[in-house]
Amino acid sequence: MLSALTERKTVSIQWGAVLALVGVNALWGLSFPIMKSLNMQMEQFFGLENHAVSNSQSAAFSSGMIGLRFLVSLAILSIVCPNLVRRASAAEWRAGILVGLLFYVGLVLQVIGLATIPASRSGFLTSLTAVFTPIFSSIVFRKPITVNVILGVAIALLGVSILTGLIVLNTSGIHIAPDAVSKWTFGDTLTTLGAVLFTGQLLLVDYYGARINTTAITPGMFLTVSIAAGLTFALLHSVALQAVPLHREAPWSSWAMLYFSPNFIGIILFLAIFCSVVAFVGMNKYQPHITAVQASVVYSTEPVFASLWALFLPSLLGILDAKIGYPNESISMPLILGGAFVLLANVVALWPRARVDQSKK
C-alpha cells in the first residue's frame, strides 16, 4: 500500500515537472522572434540593415545583447530570490559556471545564426539537441547506441534536409535540390553547433541533479554568461564599428544610446524576466525530476512554440518599432514536413529509451 502511494506520488511529481518544462519551452520559443527583432534593431541603428554584416559585427551585437539580458536577469534574481544567491554553495557556483559557459557559447552561436535564418527554422535546428542527447549520453556513459537512436538520427537528417531546402518533395518523389549547396547557410551551421553546446548543458544539469540543488546553480549561470558576453563584447565592439562611419568616433556612446532606448530596454526586461529568470529557474528546478533523455523529449516542443509565436509576434513587435520591418513568418510546406520529421525523430530516438530509464527509477 505504502509502495503504491509512493509510486503514485513519484508519477505525479514527474508529470508536474513535465508540464512545468513545457511552459519553460513556450517561453524559450517566445525568445526566438524577440531575439531576431533585437538583431534587426541593432542593424537598423548602425545602418547595416541593407549591408552584409561581418562575423565580428554579429558576434559583438549578439554578445552585447546577451550580456545585457543576463546581467539584468541576475539583478532581478537577486531582488526576487535573494536567498538563492546568498546561500548558494561553492559547489553550486562551480556547477553554474560550467553550465553557463556551455550555454553562453551555444546561445551566441544561435543568436548570430538568427540574423540570417527565420526564427522558426532556428527553433527546429535547435531541437536537434533532443537527438544529440542520447548519442552524447551513450558516448559519455559508454552505453551502446540503440537502433532507435540510429533511426532517429536518420529521420532527423531527412527532416533538416527538407527544412533547409537541401531535399525537395514533390509529386515525382524526393529529389536533391538543384541549388542544394547554397540552401544550407552559415546560419544553419552556427545554429546546429549551438544545439551541440545545449546538449552538453542539458547533460551537465542532469549530472548535477543527483548531487546538488540545481535551482541554486542559476545565479552562477547568469553571472558567467554576463561576464563571458561582456568580455566578448569588449574585445569586438571597436572592430565591429569600424565599418560604420556614423558611430566610429564614439563607439561606447553609440552602444549606450541603443541599449538605453525605450524599445530596446523594454524588450530586454521582458526577456530577462520571463525567458531567463522564470524559464531557467524552472528548468534547473524541475529537470532533475525526470531523466535527461525524457527532458530532451519535452524540449523538442520548443521549435513548435517558436514557429507559432513567429506567425503573429513579429507584427506586434513592429508596432513598438516600425523601423525594423519584421514581417510575420508564414507556414510553408518545407517547414511543416521538415519540422514534422524532426519532431518524429525526437520521439523515435528518445521515447522508448525514456520508458526503459523510467522503469529503472
Least trusted range by pLDDT, from 95-104, 175-184, 306-315: 175-184
Judged by phi (left if over 0) then psi (alpha if -120 to 50, else beta), residue 333 lies in alpha
Among candidate residues 178, 174, 163, 35, the one with its CA nearest the CA of residue 109: 35
Alpha helical stretches, state H, 141-288: 147-163, 180-183, 186-209, 218-241, 245-248, 251-259, 262-270, 279-286
Alpha-carbon dihedral sign for residues 276, 281, 287, 288: positive
Among candidate residues 95, 195, 188, 190, the one with its CA nearest the CA of residue 135: 195
CA dihedral (80, 86, 90, 95) in degrees, to 10, reads: 0
d(CA 339, CA 160): 8
What percent of the chain has a predicted confidence (pLDDT) above 70? 85
CA atoms within 13 A on the CB side of 184: 15
d(CA 162, CA 169): 8
d(CA 138, CA 136): 5
Among candidate residues 343, 334, 345, the one with its CA nearest the CA of residue 169: 334
For range 31-40, the mean pLDDT: 87
Which residues lie closer than 8 Å to 203 by C-beta, 6 or more apart?
133, 136, 137, 140, 292
d(CA 14, CA 185): 39
Least trusted range by pLDDT, from 103-107, 117-121, 230-234, 356-360: 356-360
More confident residue, 288 or 357: 288
Among candidate residues 155, 153, 135, 131, the one with its CA nearest the CA of residue 145: 135
pLDDT-based confidence at 251, cuts 50/70/90? low
CB 297 within 8 A of CB 353: no
pLDDT-based confidence at 357, cuts 50/70/90? very low
Classify burial at 274, counting beta carbons within 10 Å of its beta carbon; exposed 0-12, middle 13-18, buried 19 or more. middle
- Tens-digit pLDDT profile for residues 182-201: 778 899 999 999 999 999 99
Average pLDDT of every residue of the chain: 81
Q: What is the pLDDT of residue 352?
A: 47
Query: Distance of CA 60 to CAs 54, 106, 231, 238, Å?
Result: 10, 15, 10, 9
For range 288-317, the mean pLDDT: 80
Strand, coil or helix: what is 170? strand
Query: Distance of CA 94 to CAs 62, 100, 229, Å?
Result: 25, 10, 18
Which residues lie closer than 8 Å to 68 by C-beta, 6 or more apart?
259, 268
Residue type, 11: V
The alpha carbon of residue 331 and the mean position of all alpha carbons in its chain are separated, in whole angstroms, by: 21
∠ CA 307-36-191 to the nearest 5 degrees? 75
pTM of the model: 0.80
Residue type, 42: M
d(CA 267, CA 314): 13
d(CA 65, CA 271): 11
Question: Rounded to the nearest 5°, which phi and psi values hold at 172?
Answer: -90, 0
d(CA 226, CA 68): 7
- Tens-digit pLDDT profile for residues 307-325: 889 888 888 887 766 566 7
Query: Distance of CA 49 to CAs 37, 97, 166, 325, Å?
Result: 12, 35, 27, 10
CB 221 within 8 A of CB 280: yes
Among candidate residues 235, 204, 254, 291, the one with its CA nearest the CA of residue 18: 291
pLDDT-based confidence at 163, cuts 50/70/90? confident
- Tens-digit pLDDT profile for residues 264-284: 888 999 999 999 999 999 988
